[in-house]
Amino acid sequence: MDALAVDELLRLIFQHCDRHDNFSNALVSKKWSEEALSALWKHLDSMHPLLSLLAPLVEKDMFHTFERPIWSSDWTIFRKYSWRVHNILFPIVGSTLYHHSVFTEIALTKPHGDLIPNLRNLVCQPYSLCDFIPLLLNQRLVDLVITGIAGTSLSKAKSLLSYLPERCPTLRRLDLRIFEHDYTEIGLEVLLTPLSSLTELKIAPATLTPLVMHALACLPSLEHIRSTHRWPTRNPNRLPRPPVDTAERFTSLRLLEISTDNIPPFLEPYRLNNLRKLVLEADTQQTREQHLRFFEIISKSCPRLETLHLGNRSHDRPSELPLATWETFAPLRRLPRLADLSLVDLPMSTPTLLYVAENLPSLTRLDLRRSSTIDGTPAFPISVLPQLAVIRPQFVFLGLCMDTSVPSPAVAFEENEQFRHLAELNVGPSRLDSPVPDVATYLSGILPEGCQLSRLFDGWSGDEGESWESWVPVIEMVSALNLDKKVSCQAAS
């Protein structure tokens, strides 16, 4: 029992207990009670437990309100628990709705100081609670997520952001999800400039105006920018060409994820030595020439890039485009660290695919699941897999839209024609062009034990349900064949 009286040990144990167990732990002794209560209150998915400490809550017309005024003694009880709270998450579904009078009563009667002094992470998904958010801000808050901002609530969002520089000077992550097709400027460039500790900004939909980008470029600690949207918007991101002096801009940026068609004019003047990941979701289908332009500028501006994802947000069948040639990908040879390459709707031939594999020595993940030929048929024969295994045996993920016509007769693969580390093969929207046993036997001869076989279904291929179901027996048979190989190897050893 003496060992379990050590605060650090109790704290570690109670962190791994569920809420029911910690309720029981809090009743064991005074020593246990302190640590068990801290574990119970550390993470909240509702404000209801805290607000109930102040005064009884009753429901009227779907909104909760205080049954009586808050007394000074209520705040003594409230403070006994509020300092224990570190994280608050309001879920989108099932959140309690509170009447505005609840927030007014708290603001008028609360003692001096922060309402929840140790709060570090706040996720407020139902924006109906926006009036309460300023009361929760404090000097220790590092992570703020607000979603559901739309229409007339934009003005409230602007008012809320105006509190951040003074109330949350150490804020590191800000996530604003603004559900508004016609975005109205709220002066982000002014509101974000004082946040010198900000490392990650996620904001959607399109809000990256020239003034905002200029403000972000000056933030000394900014590492991640995400501005993507999953629906059409009338004001798409148009990244501005920056000023001439770019030597001290975006010095710490490591990730840029954005929906836009014009990233090259933005990147060209910069030398983003620290950028490791670039994700571009174009609003329209990009041509072979546009991809070449992207690759030329990216390879010059981001010499240490490790992840490059280029695609578009549309799931419609791509229009007919000329096949990309090896020249299109030649600039990527200047990216020696590139390990993850994902391209959507860029038709190419098998020799071009092999060129990419041969000339990117660090590549471990290659995703071309929706690549096709000019007429929309799968881009690559299934026989390309052993060739890729020879060139890049270190692949851990491979996504290819394949013609699954198995060569006849079936051959036994050499050891160097088998993937060694592949964890997943995604065949895109490929149909079965050969009998199930032929395809399964062929794949099991190439894929290592434990490799997951999956298939993309996103409506692009126009497949019906039976097309996906036809792959289920292939997946099951590949797993069975690999298991047989494992048993045989164990028996032989």
283-292, 314-323, 438-447: the lowest-pLDDT one: 314-323
432: left (phi over 0), alpha (psi -120 to 50) or beta: beta
What are the tokens at 417?
Answer: 């024609």
Q: Which residue has the higher pLDDT, 157 or 196?
A: 196
For residue 493, name the pLDDT band (cuts at 50, 70, 90): low
215 within 8 A of 240, measured Cβ to Cβ: no
Task: Residue 144: name the closest of 112, 163, 166, 122 by CA.
Answer: 122
133-142, 172-181, 420-429: the lowest-pLDDT one: 172-181
The pLDDT of residue 480: 81
Contacts for 353 with CB less than 8 Å, ≥ 6 apart: 368, 379, 380, 384, 388, 400
For 415, other C-beta atoms within 10 Å of its C-beta total 8
205 within 8 A of 229, measured Cβ to Cβ: yes
**C-alpha separations of 38 from 123, 125, 358 in Å:** 20, 25, 55
Is the pLDDT at 126 greater than 60? The verdict is no
The pLDDT of residue 461: 45
The pLDDT of residue 260: 77
For residue 356, name the pLDDT band (cuts at 50, 70, 90): very high
Q: Which residue has the higher pLDDT, 201 or 407?
A: 201
Q: Are strands 397-400 and 380-381 parallel, antiparallel or unpaired?
A: unpaired
For residue 398, name the pLDDT band (cuts at 50, 70, 90): very high
Alpha carbon of residue 461 to chain centroid: 25
Mean pLDDT across 440-467: 71
Is the pLDDT at 41 greater than 70? The verdict is yes
- The pLDDT tens digits of the residues spanning 413-437 come to 888 888 999 999 988 878 888 888 8
* Rounded Cα distance, 217 and 249, in Å: 5
> Which pTM does this prediction carry?
0.83
Q: Which residue has the higher pLDDT, 86 or 4?
A: 86
Mean pLDDT across 172-188: 72
Is the pLDDT at 403 greater than 80? The verdict is yes
Residue 147 φ/ψ, nearest 5 degrees: -130, 165
Percentage of the chain lying above the pLDDT 70 cut: 73
* Rounded Cα distance, 298 and 333, in Å: 11
* Rounded Cα distance, 28 and 17, in Å: 15
* Rounded Cα distance, 143 and 130, in Å: 16
Percentage of the chain lying above the pLDDT 90 cut: 27
CA angle 370, 417, 410 (to 5 degrees): 85
Q: In 3-state terms, what secondary structure has residue 208?
A: coil
Element (H, E) at 13: helix 7-15
371 within 8 A of 341, measured Cβ to Cβ: no
42-46, 110-114, 123-127, 375-379: the lowest-pLDDT one: 375-379
The pLDDT of residue 462: 47
* Rounded Cα distance, 213 and 246, in Å: 12
Task: Residue 174: name the closest of 146, 135, 139, 211 by CA.
Answer: 146
Mean pLDDT of the chain: 80
The pLDDT of residue 301: 87
Mean pLDDT across 240-266: 76
Mean pLDDT across 137-160: 78
Mean pLDDT across 398-405: 88
